[in-house]
Amino acid sequence: MSKFLPITKEELQSRGIDEPDFILVTGDAYVDHPSFGIAVIGRLLESRGYTVAVLSRPNAASAKSFRVFGRPRLGFLVTSGNIDSMVSNYTAAKKNRSDDLYAPGGRGGGRPDRACITYSIRIREAFGDVPVILGGLEASLRRLAHYDYWTDKVRRSILLDSKADLVVYGMGERAILEIAAALKEGTPAGKLTGVRGTVCRCNPADAEETVILPSFEEITKDKRKYAESFRLQYANNDGISGRVLVEPYADGCIRQNPPSEPLTTEELDEIHGLPFQRTYHPAYESEGGVPAIKEVQFSIISTRGCYGDCGFCSLTFHQGRMVRSRGDQSILQEAEIITKMPGFKGYIHDVGGPTANFRSRPCAKSEKRGICADRECIGQSLCKNLEVEHKKYLALLRKIRALPGIKKVFIRSGVRFDYLIADPDTAFFNELCEHHVSGQLKVAPEHISDTVLKLMNKPSHSVYIEFKKRYDRINKKLGKKQFLVPYYISGHPGSGLKEAIELAEYFRDNRLYPEQVQDFYPTPGTLSTCMYHTGLNPLTMEPVYVARDMSEKAMQRALLQYKNPGNYELVRKALLKAGRKDLIGYDKRCLLRPVSGRHQKLRGKPRRKGASD
């Protein structure tokens, strides 16, 4: 018998099951690994005695594909997959993508736009009033009315457009188990209105003792109202202090129950101890496998949640700001399992989470009161109450390094460098460079403009410079040639051509040519997306410059890779528009060479030493 969850009727029946309790629908190929939400929920339900089947990448053109397993006894659990379907299908420039790392063979095109809505509608066509519960990243970030970048409009809650019964938001293990138990007892899905971590329909009369958000009609007409709504959501996104939110519509209301409390260490350990096969289902082998497994197959998730709270990151509204970590023994057991896997060559690729060096709570107060709604743990500066330490993480890494069969343990999930250099104990920094860097360490300074960085909720550029100095000094002492691979974002709210040119000049002065450049992508549910839509910082209501024109967004991105000959015309246009013609010429400070006669061949390339004018 296959050790994977069943993905065909034959596999289901081979287990003696004709009617599964739940059918899990996903836009991803089925990968049985704890990095994939559908595998986590499926394995967790299975561990509680429920029977499940996985309907992976169904043909959404008709309801036929959704009848493969018949009608489930308790309901459908629907997700677009590990990634938002619109982000999967389109670039930040709204162009179609040709690939999909979560699909068999990495081929794009098999995941429908707005997959949660499409799948849910097809299920209704196939089975009528069967319970349908949405979950995962796409549903989580669209749980209330939200700005939609692809149509440039504010859309209703995904609950309404999908005609589903419930939306489970955030990391949904607790909510799913509570819902499953209620459905098993015969409670109709429409009556499950009080489950934490869910969104449901409600009547206006049920809105007592709640936070009433501006109505959908208000936020579609008034961007300031949209920003006010976001601020209220932002302030009530904690599992301890969050309150019920109600969003009125012309024909009813949407109720967001408070977030689920973060899982305990013991609960996380239980989940990661479930019998994951840590690879894709064998059915995909003939199609070339599933590329997404490569990044995580020999990696270990050690934590959940992030109080870094970067403005452009969706984790604040999905995993939450409270960090929870697994126990050392659970992680060591997983590391031992990895050493026995086919293809393992002695290298653990990562031990981390959203931010690798956040391993515990931000402060003692957060355990009882929750994360502060009116201040940041870390951003332009560190909160005075923030507990900065790396001893627990370092002790864990040392234990993993000592296991038989492990040659090296890398850290690739991201290091928050301002937190790192705030630690007076340099032991972790030294051992990071000595043992856990594979020649290059990825970091995310994102920009050099402090105006932009403040809106991103990132530290000032001077902090990155100090980090780099210390990193270089430690590596020199160790006799290692190891480099930093910095990530930068173009077109973020607050950044105009002036700020983009400043960043390009920084690259020029430091002889940098970044390969990792991302144009800001306004995905639902983030602080930065709210700024992009409204032109306001919702936390202060101060105006923010936004590059909304696609032409300017393209110019800003091109400036960050100004040496690329293919970007020449865009960079030239940007410099002229910004009144920086002084940066076109032959002086060493110039970004471009002029376009004239024989020099046209030198577009975007440094002039050869000794070449005549």
Q: Which pLDDT does position 309 carry in this prediction?
A: 87
In a domain? residue 542: yes
Degrees to nearest 5, angle at CA 516 with 511 and 519: 115
Between 111-115, 207-211, 359-363, 604-608, the lowest mean confidence (pLDDT) is in 604-608
Q: Which pLDDT does position 599 carry in this prediction?
A: 41
By CB atoms closer than 10 A (0-12, 13-18, 19+), residue 185 is exposed
Alpha carbon distance 25, 77 (integer Å): 6
Residue 438 banded pLDDT, cuts 50, 70, 90: confident
- What whole-number percentage of the chain has pLDDT above 90? 86
Between 142-146, 366-370, 572-576, 608-612, the lowest mean confidence (pLDDT) is in 608-612
Rg (CA), the chain: 25
- For residues 42 and 315, the model is more confident at 42
In a domain? residue 291: no
- What whole-number percentage of the chain has pLDDT above 70? 96
Residue 597 banded pLDDT, cuts 50, 70, 90: very low
In a domain? residue 428: no
Q: Which pLDDT does position 208 carry in this prediction?
A: 66
Q: Which pLDDT does position 203 carry in this prediction?
A: 83
Between 51-65, 146-160, 173-187, 196-210, the lowest mean confidence (pLDDT) is in 196-210
Residue 9 banded pLDDT, cuts 50, 70, 90: very high
Q: Which pLDDT does position 139 carry in this prediction?
A: 97
Examine the pLDDT at 516 and tell me if it is beyond 80.
no
Instruction: Tell me which of 256, 291, 316 is where a domain ends.
Output: 256
Residue 488 backbone dihedrals phi, psi, to 5 degrees: -135, 150
- Average pLDDT of the chain to the nearest whole number: 93
Residue 277 banded pLDDT, cuts 50, 70, 90: very high
pTM of the model: 0.93
Domain that holds residue 217: 9-230+242-256
Alpha carbon distance 504, 591 (integer Å): 8
Q: Which pLDDT does position 2 carry in this prediction?
A: 66
Q: CB count, 10 Å around CB of 421?
A: 19
Closest CA to 65 of 123, 131, 115: 123
Taking the CA atoms of 135, 140, 146 and 149 in sequence, report the sign of the dihedral they define.
negative
Q: Which pLDDT does position 609 carry in this prediction?
A: 38
Degrees to nearest 5, angle at CA 316 with 234 and 324: 125
Examine the pLDDT at 359 and tell me if it is beyond 70.
yes
Instruction: Determine contact, residues 241/277, Cβ cutoff 8 Å.
Output: no
Examine the pLDDT at 311 and tell me if it is beyond 60.
yes
Alpha carbon distance 211, 79 (integer Å): 28
Query: pLDDT tens digit string along 527-586?
Result: 999 999 999 999 999 999 999 999 999 999 999 999 999 999 999 999 999 999 999 999
Query: pLDDT tens digit string along 475-484?
Result: 999 999 999 9
Q: Which pLDDT does position 604 carry in this prediction?
A: 45
Examine the pLDDT at 602 and tell me if it is beyond 50.
no
In a domain? residue 510: yes
Residue 125 banded pLDDT, cuts 50, 70, 90: very high
CATH number at residue 61: 3.40.50.2300
In a domain? residue 68: yes
In a domain? residue 187: yes
Alpha carbon distance 429, 472 (integer Å): 11
Residue 207 banded pLDDT, cuts 50, 70, 90: low
Q: Which pLDDT does position 610 carry in this prediction?
A: 36
Q: Which two tokens stand for residue 318?
A: 């999905």
Examine the pLDDT at 396 and tell me if it is beyond 90.
yes
Query: pLDDT tens digit string along 222-242?
Result: 999 999 999 999 999 998 999
Buried-state track 459-478, b at ≥16 Cβ within 10 A, e below 16: bbbebbeebbebbeebbeee
In a domain? residue 427: no
Number of domains in the chain: 2
- Summarize the confidence of residues 447-464 as an average pLDDT: 95
Query: pLDDT tens digit string along 48-84?
Result: 999 999 999 999 999 999 999 999 999 999 999 999 9
Between 10-19, 104-113, 368-377, the lowest mean confidence (pLDDT) is in 368-377
In a domain? residue 384: no
Examine the pLDDT at 601 and tell me if it is beyond 70.
no
Q: Which pLDDT does position 611 carry in this prediction?
A: 37
